[in-house]
Amino acid sequence: MALVALLLALDSAQAATELTVVPSSSPAASRIEAIDLVRLKADLARADLMLPERVSVTLIPEGDRRARDVPNWIVGMALEPHDIVIFPERVLAYPYDSLESVFRHEVTHLALSSRAAGATLPRWFHEGVATSVDAGWGFSDRLRLLLETTGNPVTADLSRLFSSDARSTLAQAYGLSAALVADLRRRHGTQTPGAIASRVAAGVPFETAFQQATGETPDDAARTAWTTYRHWTIWVSAVTSQSAVWGVIIGLALLAFLVRARQRVLRRRRWDDEATPPTWPD
C-alpha cells in the first residue's frame, strides 16, 4: 500500500505542472512532452527552487522568420513567468546535450526568476544555476574548464564573457559559471541558489544576499572555486613532465568527449525507435 501511495503521489506531482508545446504534432514536441517532470521537480527542489505550475513551450524551426531574427548561438530562451522558446535544430552545442537538456535548462531559469520574485540576478548566476540543475558538473566539464581558463577571473569578467557573440567565449562563460555554482553548492549546500534568490526577492541586493547565504563575496567564492579546480592541475603536473601534462589533459578530454558522443548516439537511436513518423506541417 505504501508503494502504491508513493506512485500515486509521484503521478500527482507530475500532473501538477501544465505543459503545453506548440506546434504539438512534431517529434520534438513528443520528446518534450515525455520529459520526466517528477525528476526535474526533485532536481529543482535540491536547489531550493520550485517547478512552475505552468510551462508553455514554442518550437521555432530554422526556416521561420523569428529564427532568422535571433542570433544562431541562442538555442533557447526563458520568458518570465511561464514561456520558453526553443530552436530544436540548434541543439547539441555546449552547454546542452539534448533537446531535453535545453528544456530543463530554460525551466530552471523560470524557477530561479520566480524564486527571486522577478528581481534581477547576474547572468553568470542564472546560467550557472541552470547548468548545475540541468546537467550537474562532471569530470569532462572540469577538463574543459582546465583547457579554457586562463588568469583568475572574477564575476565581472564572467559578465563580460557573456556579452560576447563568439561561441567559444560563450562556452567559456557557461563553463566558468557552472564551475562556480557547482563549487558553491558543494561547499555551502545544494540549496544555496534558492537561499540567495529568496533574499533578493525580499529586497536585499544580490551581493549582500550572496554574502549572507555563503559568508563570502561572489569574487571570493570565484577565487576559491578556481583554486579548487587548479589543485587538480598541480597534481597532474607533479606526476608528469611539463610537456606531457597538457597531453594527458587533452587525451582525457578527448576520451570524455567520445564517451559523451557515444551516449548521444545511443540516446538518439532510442528516440528514433520510440518516435512516430515526422508530422511537421507543410
What pLDDT, on a 0 to 100 scale, did the predictor assign at position 135?
A: 73
Three-state DSSP state, 21: strand
Task: Categorize the per-residue pLDDT at 269 as very low, low, confident or very high, splitting at 50, 70 and 90.
Answer: low
For 196-237, the pLDDT digits (tens) are: 999 999 999 999 999 999 999 999 999 888 887 766 555 444
Q: How far apart are CA 41 and CA 36, in angstroms?
A: 9
In a domain, 103, yes or no: yes
Q: For residue 207, what is the domain's CATH number?
A: 1.10.390
Q: Please state the rounded mean pLDDT for residues 7-19.
A: 56
To the nearest 10 degrees (0 to 180), the angle between helices 139-148 and 167-188 is 130
Using the predicted structure, report yes or no on whether residue 15 has a pLDDT greater than 50: no
What total number of domains does the chain contain?
1
Q: How far apart are CA 207 and CA 126, in angstroms?
A: 14
In a domain, 224, yes or no: yes
Number of helices (H), then strands (E), belonging to the chain: the values are 13, 4
Most confident of the following: 16-25, 123-132, 269-278: 123-132
Domain enclosing residue 111, as ranges: 16-272
In a domain, 2, yes or no: no
Q: Please state the rounded mean pLDDT for residues 96-117.
A: 92
In a domain, 3, yes or no: no
Q: How far apart are CA 96 and CA 113, in angstroms?
A: 20
What pLDDT, on a 0 to 100 scale, did the predictor assign at position 274?
A: 53
In a domain, 130, yes or no: yes
Give the CA count within 13 Å in the CB-facing half-sphere of 227: 7
What pLDDT, on a 0 to 100 scale, did the predictor assign at position 164?
A: 83
In a domain, 10, yes or no: no
In a domain, 187, yes or no: yes
Asked if residue 193 lies in contact with residue 132, where contact means CB atoms within 8 angstroms, the answer is yes
Most confident of the following: 7-11, 159-163, 260-264, 271-275: 159-163
Q: Which three cell numbers stand for residue 137?
A: 558538473
For 18-69, the pLDDT digits (tens) are: 999 999 888 899 999 999 999 999 999 999 999 999 999 999 999 999 998 8
Total-model pTM: 0.75
In a domain, 9, yes or no: no
Task: Categorize the per-residue pLDDT at 264 as very low, low, confident or very high, splitting at 50, 70 and 90.
Answer: low
